[in-house]
Amino acid sequence: MKDKDFSTPIPPQEAILRSWERSVASGLRPDEQNPEARLPAACLSDRLEANARLVAYAQPIMEHLHQQIARSSSTILLTDNSGTILRSVGDSDFLEKAARVSLHPGQSWSEAVMGTNAIGTALAEQRPVAVFGEQHYLERNRFLTCIATPIHAPTGGVLGILDVSTSARPTQTHAQALLQTTVEIIENRLIETIADAAVVIRFHHQPEALASPLEGLAVFDEAGGFLACNRRAERLLGTGDTRLSRPAYWDIFETRWNTVLDHALQSSARPTKLRSHRGREFVAHVLVSDLQRVRPVSTREAAASARPPQPTLDDLDLGDAAVTHAIRRARRILGLDIPLLIQGETGTGKEVFAQACHNSGPRRDGPFVAINCAAIPAPLIEAELFGYSAGAYTGARGEGARGKLREAHGGTLFLDEIGDMPLKLQAVLLRVLETRRVTPLGGGPEEELNLSLICASHHSLKMLCESGEFRPDLYFRLSAMSLHLPPLRERADIESLARRLLHDESPGRPIRISASALDLIRRHPWPGNIRQLKNALRLAAAMLGPDEDTLTPGHLPQDLTDEPDLSPGRPRNQSLRAAESRLVEDTVARHNGNISAAARELGITRTTLYRKLRQASPDT
């Protein structure tokens, strides 16, 4: 992959010279013994509060980085945008040594205070900087070697600095590359969690780079207005300083906004193609965070006032035998300390089912806390789940974070895509399930947990166990009560469900569905299941004229009306299977036999892909 790094980590000599000139001009002497006195001490707790989001995302990743560097005699430092250290993680031996030169939380390392140093100089130069021993302006700091990289805010500007300081000369390329990647993970996380983000687009020229720090990330509001993007996105798009010019979606991409949204709503697990106005082609994952918000504005307000109440298990029972059976089984364990595992294809309603279990059980007045294990970078899942205590990290005095497990106390914790949980964390989760107690990262008092646990996966956990990606002991623990939600194409109640969804989509406007439209709905394979049907009906309702009250085939999306594989008279399962086999084989061929890349594009695990290939060509 030819993705050249956009930052030059080792500063040219001139950067150090410029910094020395600034240091001299500031009146600081190289033999200064007490530079700390140059500025009043920063009030650390205020700084921590002002930078709470930055600290929350950076802190667990700093631990991870420290383990990766695996270097004694080093410390990882996080500062705010004035160079004041907010957090430090490191070995106690080195921290003691570092404390002698005030390399600890609360101390400013701006150039004005410390002269040339990686933190202050990276801030002044707004770029990654390495400062080796003798290059430090103050003599007392010359035992240090430091590398520092600015952390950019989602909307541009520098939020702070991440720094690795050591008393030994580090293997520069290794540590710098790790530092750079770490900063990009933090920046991406800050972008993804922007409060108003409605649509997140991850893109790259090559599918293999998706979901890696190499991907471009662009975030838009519900109407396609620009909210933020990462620096990779700017480079991939070649649009210069996008964060300054803040172009709307359609100013960047040629592919229609609605086409992208339709794709996301129908099959978000699959990548789609995007083309920019500059003729650059990308593969992209498009994530719509809140379906309600991307409605046309006129219907959004009406829907908000008439939003259906949260479902209970009774509400989900529309007459399909498999669903009724699942509901009956789920009822037996409501309120008991038995975890529930819901499996089923994407969009079959696993989260809705989990919410319905919560609403129907004795903990219904408690919180329902959902976490998608596939959407959070592995190093962050542990902190998200378990939280961390104040003082968990060296110098920490903030409030810590409760973590989802404790947030769900008294209610229900829903772990979506549990199959994507890292193996190490699976062991910790198993222990929590056994002891029903949780200890925040970094120690602190153990707390008892009283909650219902519901997990979901669209991968087969059993197969993940066979391929070594999931712990069998956790699987046995979670699958004591395991339910399978049927794919929509197999549901006998698809008509009632379609009517229900249409009613929810167009509250206050009774719409009938014609017999021929129902026939098409019954015959369609619905790979995106209820999510796809819901979106198709939403589009169809929008196509109805003001005087029309009946939905006909002409209102439905085109792919329903020209489905080539479902000619009447052909057994449906057979044609479906044939279509799937063709898709699987074509995708593998397009990736020249690269199973990982093909599996990623199809949104399935490698194990599942191997199985499907065996089914497609049983003789091989």
Instruction: Give me 323's structure tokens.
Output: 């669903």
Scanning 54-62, 196-204, 212-220, 342-350 for contacts with ligand ATP by CB under 6 A, the matching segment is: 342-350
- The rounded distance, in Å, linking the Cα atoms of 505 and 503 is 5
| Residue 499 neighbours by CB under 8 Å, 6+ apart | 513
- 74 DSSP β-pair partners: 166
Burial string for 327-353 (b: 16+ CB within 10 Å, else e) reads beebeebbeeeebbbbbbbbbbbbbeb
- The rounded distance, in Å, linking the Cα atoms of 490 and 492 is 6
Angle (deg, nearest 10), helices 572-590 and 606-616: 120
Give, for 331, the enclosing helix (H) or strand (E). Answer: helix 321-332
Closest residue by beta carbon to ligand ATP: 349
- The rounded distance, in Å, linking the Cα atoms of 605 and 593 is 15
- Whether the Cβ atoms of residue 561 and residue 553 lie closer than 8 Å to each other: yes
Q: Which is nearer to ligand ATP, 63 or 320 (CB)?
A: 320
Least distance from C-beta 358 to ligand ATP, angstroms? 13
Given the DSSP bridges, would you call strands 437-438 and 447-448 parallel, antiparallel or unpaired? antiparallel
Q: Which is nearer to ligand ATP, 316 or 405 (CB)?
A: 316
Is 419 an interacting residue with respect to ligand ATP (CB under 6 A)? no
Least distance from C-beta 311 to ligand ATP, angstroms? 7
Q: Which is nearer to ligand ATP, 64 or 491 (CB)?
A: 491
Least distance from C-beta 499 to ligand ATP, angstroms? 11
Q: Which of 348, 412, 426, 605 binds ligand ATP (CB under 6 A)?
A: 348
Phi-psi region of 335 (alpha: psi -120 to 50; beta: other; left: phi over 0): left
Q: Which amino acid is at 333?
A: I
Least distance from C-beta 501 to ligand ATP, angstroms? 6
Q: Which is nearer to ligand ATP, 284 or 454 (CB)?
A: 454
Is 350 an interacting residue with respect to ligand ATP (CB under 6 A)? yes
Q: Which is nearer to ligand ATP, 320 or 382 (CB)?
A: 320
- The rounded distance, in Å, linking the Cα atoms of 56 and 85 is 15
Least distance from C-beta 333 to ligand ATP, angstroms? 19
Least distance from C-beta 409 to ligand ATP, angstroms? 23
Least distance from C-beta 424 to ligand ATP, angstroms? 24
Scanning 327-335, 343-351, 427-435, 442-450 for contacts with ligand ATP by CB under 6 A, the matching segment is: 343-351
Q: Which is nearer to ligand ATP, 416 or 420 (CB)?
A: 416
Is 303 an interacting residue with respect to ligand ATP (CB under 6 A)? no
Q: Residue 564, Cβ neighbours under 10 Å: how many?
A: 7
Least distance from C-beta 502 to ligand ATP, angstroms? 11
Is 266 an interacting residue with respect to ligand ATP (CB under 6 A)? no
- Whether the Cβ atoms of residue 581 and residue 587 lie closer than 8 Å to each other: no
Of 505, 507, 518, 525, give the one whose Cα is nearest residue 550. Answer: 518
Instruction: Give me 136's structure tokens.
Output: 């430090």
The secondary structure of 377-388, three-state, reads: CHHHHHHHHHCE
Instruction: Give me 336's structure tokens.
Output: 């008991």
Q: Which of 22, 232, 458, 471 binds ligand ATP (CB under 6 A)?
A: 458
Scanning 117-125, 131-139, 349-357, 392-400 for contacts with ligand ATP by CB under 6 A, the matching segment is: 349-357
Is 347 an interacting residue with respect to ligand ATP (CB under 6 A)? yes
Q: Which of 9, 150, 160, 349 binds ligand ATP (CB under 6 A)?
A: 349
- The rounded distance, in Å, linking the Cα atoms of 561 and 555 is 10
Is 316 an interacting residue with respect to ligand ATP (CB under 6 A)? yes
- Whether the Cβ atoms of residue 11 and residue 121 lie closer than 8 Å to each other: yes
Scanning 220-228, 347-355, 553-561, 583-591 for contacts with ligand ATP by CB under 6 A, the matching segment is: 347-355
- Whether the Cβ atoms of residue 128 and residue 152 lie closer than 8 Å to each other: no
- The rounded distance, in Å, linking the Cα atoms of 42 and 256 is 50
Q: Which of 163, 192, 416, 601 binds ligand ATP (CB under 6 A)?
A: 416
Q: Which is nearer to ligand ATP, 438 or 456 (CB)?
A: 456
Q: Which is nearer to ligand ATP, 113 or 313 (CB)?
A: 313
- The rounded distance, in Å, linking the Cα atoms of 101 and 133 is 14
- 455 DSSP β-pair partners: 341, 415
Given the DSSP bridges, would you call strands 368-372 and 412-416 parallel, antiparallel or unpaired? parallel
Is 351 an interacting residue with respect to ligand ATP (CB under 6 A)? yes
| 290 exposure class (CB count in 10 Å sphere: 0-12, 13-18, 19+) | exposed
Q: Which is nearer to ligand ATP, 376 or 530 (CB)?
A: 530
Separation in Å, CA 580 to CA 284, 573, 576, 577, 602: 22, 10, 6, 5, 11
- The rounded distance, in Å, linking the Cα atoms of 152 and 159 is 5
Q: Which is nearer to ligand ATP, 369 or 501 (CB)?
A: 501
Between 460 and 499, how does the x/- string for binding to ligand ATP read (CB under 6 A)? ----------------------------------------
CA-CA-CA-CA dihedral for 520, 523, 529, 533, to nearest 10: 10
Is 352 an interacting residue with respect to ligand ATP (CB under 6 A)? yes
Q: Which is nearer to ligand ATP, 352 or 390 (CB)?
A: 352
Separation in Å, CA 439 to CA 393, 402, 450: 15, 10, 14
Q: Which is nearer to ligand ATP, 176 or 346 (CB)?
A: 346
Q: Which of 291, 370, 579, 616 binds ligand ATP (CB under 6 A)?
A: 291
Scanning 51-59, 132-140, 346-354, 488-496 for contacts with ligand ATP by CB under 6 A, the matching segment is: 346-354
Between 526 and 565, how does the x/- string for binding to ligand ATP read (CB under 6 A)? ----xx--x-------------------------------
Q: Which is nearer to ligand ATP, 87 or 350 (CB)?
A: 350
Q: Which of 501, 513, 599, 602 binds ligand ATP (CB under 6 A)?
A: 501
Is 406 an interacting residue with respect to ligand ATP (CB under 6 A)? no
Which residues would be at the binding site for ligand ATP (CB under 6 A)? 291, 316, 344, 346-352, 416, 456, 458, 501, 530-531, 534
